[in-house]
Copies of this chain bind each other. A is one copy, B any other.
Amino acid sequence: MLRTHTCGELRLEHINQEVTLAGWIQRVRNKGGLIWVDLRDRYGVTQLIFEEGSTEKALLEKASQLGREFVVQATGKVIERTSKNDKIPTGHIEIKADSLQVLNAAKVPPFIIEDETDGGDELRMKYRYLDLRRNVVREKLQLRHRMMQETRRYMDDQQFIEVETPVLIKSTPEGARDFVVPSRVNPGEFYALPQSPQTFKQLLMVSGFDRYFQIVKCFRDEDLRADRQPEFTQIDCEMSFVDQEDILSTFEGLTKHLFNTVKGVQLEEVKRMTYADAMKFYGNDKPDLRFDMKFVELNDLAKGKGFGIFDSAELVVGICAKGAAEYTRKQLDALTEWVKRPQIGAKGLVYVKYNADGSLKSTVDKFYSAEDLTQWAQAFNAEPGDLMLVLSGEEGKVRKQLSELRLKMGEELGLRDRNVFKPLWVVDFPLLEWDEETERFHAMHHPFTSPKREDIPLLETNPGAVRANAYDLVINGVEIGGGSIRIHDRPTQQLMFKHLGFSEEEAQKQFGFLMEAFEYGAPPHGGIAFGFDRLCAIFGGSDSIRDYIAFPKNNSGRDVMIDSPSSIAEDQLEELSIRVQLKK
C-alpha cells in the first residue's frame, strides 16, 4: 500500500509513530512560518504540519505549492496538536511531515469540494466524479451499500436464496414498454430487458426453491419522471406455502432490520389499513401517517342548506388542521389559489375557522348558521384554534384534491418530519381497475395476482368490487413496495386473463409457458418487490443510482453518461450492421 494508515484512523494512541498517508489536499493554510495541510480520503481528514526551521526548506517550498485536490503521499511522525479540534475524530493529532510526494497534480476544480459547495446542479453533474468526492454525496452511495448488505444478510438468515435471473429475456408484455435489444448473432431476433423478474420467480416457486430473493435491475422504456428512471433496482422476493400474513410479517421483519441496523431506528409495528379505508380517510392509497388529519364527510350536514355548490356535489368532505385557525386572510387566499391550480383542479375552497374564543367564522356564513357550523366542528372533532378546510365535487376527484391539500397542510404545519417514520401495510386492494381510455378492466397489480376466494363469484357480476390478495408497504406517504398472493392453478389464471379481455389464443401465446408450468405441481405462493431506490431515499440515501452516476438532476430525459449524449454515429450503426428507423 502507498500508505500505512488512512486519513481517518490516527488518534492520540499513535503519537510518535512514523506513518505514511495518501489522499487529496483539502486545504492549505500558510501563516507565520507554519503550513497546515488538510489531507482527505474516504475515511476522514488528517492535518499535516510543516514548520519553518524544523522542516527542510525544499519540503516547505513543496508544501506551500500544493493546490486543492492534488493527490499526495506524505510521511512523518504523529504528534499531539497544541490546539485540538474536537469536531473530527483525528482532531487531537497532526503529522509532522518529513517527506511529501505529489502522486498526481490537479487542475483547479470547477466547484468547491466541501459539504457546502458553490457548484450548480449542471456543473456538478458534468463533473460527477468530483461531486462524488463530497462527503454528503458519497455517503448516500455508502448508505446504499449498507442497505444492500443488510438486506442480503437478513434474507440469507431467513433461508432465501438469491438467484440471478436473466437480463436478456423474451419479451413478455406487462404494463410499461419493454426495451428491446436486437441480436446480431440471430439476425431479426430481439431480446427484451425485464420490467421485473415476475414470471421467473414464479417459475422458481414451481421449481421448489421455496424462498427466492434478488436485488435486481429492472427496465422501462418510459418518459422519465421525478420518480421513474429507465433502470431501477428492486428487492424482489417470492415464497411458497405462505398466506398473506406470512409475507407481511417476513417483510415487516426486513424493514425493521434495515431501520435498526442501518439507521439505528427502532421502527414501530407496521399498521394495517384496507385500501377502502385509505381512500375513504386519506383519499390516497399511500397515506402519509406522520400526521392524522383524516377526511370527514359532510354530506349529511352540508347539503340542503341552500349552498348550491355543495347541494349539487356528489361529495362534501374536509379535513381539520389543528391549530391553524390563525392562518391570515392572505395565507387562506394562497391556499385557495393553490387548490385551484390545474395540477389540483378544485373549483374552490371552503374554510371554517374555530377561533380561540370559541366563535366560528367561515366563507359560507351566508348559508350556515353558527349552530350548523358547530355541528361541523363536532364532526371534525375540532377544538378552538383549529381550521377546517372543505372541498366538494365528484367523489373520486374531490378525494384526490383533498389528499393533496392534506399533504400540503401537513407540510406547512411541520408535521412531515424526515426523521419520523410511519410505516403502513395497505391491504385488500381491488383486483381490477377500470381504464377509461381503453374502456376495459386492467389488473391493478398484475395479472398473476389472486382474487380473494370469497370474491371470485363477483368477477361475473361486479368485477370492480373483487378484492385481491394484494398489499403495499407505505412509509411516510411513499409506496416502498407491493406484492400479492399469486394465482397458482391454470383454471383461475385463465379466468383472470378472460376478465382482462385476453382471447384464449393471446393468453396462451403470451403466458402459456406459465400456465403450463402450473399444471406440473405449482405450490401456493406469493411475493413482494420493494423499490430499492425509494427505500434508500427514505433512509436519506441516493434515490437512484443513475441519478448519481449517469443522469442529470433536471431529468431532461437525455442520457449524459459521463459527459455526453448517448447517440451512436451513423457510421457506427453501419458497422454494427444494424439500422433503426423510428416511426413518426
Contacts and interface: CB of A to CB of B under 8 A. Distances in A.
Given A520-B69, A576-B177, A166 B208 contact: no
Nearest to A533: B164
B192 A566 contact: yes
Contact of A185 (B222, B488, B580): B222
Contact of A107 (B22, B520, B577): B520
Interface stretch (A47-55, A238-246, A411-419): A238-246
Contact of A168 (B22, B41, B219, B574): B219
Given A1-B241, A170-B562, 6 more contacts: A1-B246, A3-B241, A132-B208, A138-B208, A152-B152, A577-B582
A480 to B, nearest CB: 18
Contacts of A549: 163, 165-166, 200
Given A104-B488, A145-B162, A171 B568 contact: yes
A567 to B, nearest CB: 5
A14 interface: no
Closest 5 CB pairs of A and B: A106-B521, A132-B207, A170-B561, A69-B521, A170-B566
Interface stretch (A74-82, A223-231, A260-268, A379-387): A223-231
A62 interface: no
Contacts of A133: 207-208
Contacts of A517: 129
Contacts of A208: 23-24, 40-42, 132-133, 138
B210 A42 contact: yes
Interface in A139-190: 141-142, 144-145, 148-149, 152, 156, 161-171, 177-190
Interface in A536-573: 545-546, 549-550, 557-559, 561-568, 572
A199 interface: yes
Contacts of A166: 231, 545-546, 549-550, 561
B488 A171 contact: no
A402 interface: no
A129 B207 contact: yes
Contacts of A138: 207-209
Interface string A505-516: 000000011101
B142 A161 contact: yes
28 contacts: A1-B246, A2-B243, A40-B208, A42-B210, A103-B523, A103-B524, A104-B489, A106-B519, A109-B521, A128-B203, A130-B520, A148-B162, A149-B152, A163-B549, A166-B546, A166-B550, A167-B219, A168-B219, A168-B559, A170-B562, A170-B566, A184-B582, A185-B223, A185-B224, A189-B558, A190-B568, A512-B563, A579-B583
A578 interface: yes
A402 B187 CA distance: 38
A43 interface: yes
A269 interface: no
A24 to B, nearest CB: 6
A519 B71 CA distance: 11
Contacts of A243: 1-2
B559 A230 contact: no
A207 to B, nearest CB: 4
Interface-centre pick from A166, A522, A574, A579 (highest chain B CB count, 10 A): A166
Contacts of A165: 545, 549
A177 B184 contact: yes
A581 interface: yes
Nearest to A550: B166
Interface of A: 1-3, 6, 22-24, 40-43, 69-71, 73, 103-107, 109, 127-130, 132-133, 138, 141-142, 144-145, 148-149, 152, 156, 161-171, 177-193, 199-200, 203-204, 206-210, 217, 219, 221-224, 230-231, 233, 241-243, 246, 488-489, 512-514, 516-524, 545-546, 549-550, 557-559, 561-568, 572, 574, 576-583
A520 B106 contact: yes
Nearest to A545: B164
A156 B148 CA distance: 11
Contacts of A559: 168-170, 183, 186, 189, 191
A89 to B, nearest CB: 16
Nearest to A130: B520
B168 A241 contact: no
B572 A582 contact: no
Nearest to A205: B129
A523 B6 CA distance: 14
A180 B104 contact: no
A167 B231 CA distance: 8
A109 B572 CA distance: 49
Nearest to A169: B561
A207 B548 CA distance: 12
A204 B207 CA distance: 40
Contact of A186 (B70, B106, B557): B557
Given A1-B241, A164-B545, A182-B580, A109 B567 contact: no
Contact of A190 (B145, B183, B516, B567): B567
A233 B578 contact: no
Contacts of A199: 562
Given A2-B241, A107-B520, A161 B188 contact: no
A224 B562 CA distance: 31
Contacts of A161: 141-142, 145
A294 to B, nearest CB: 35
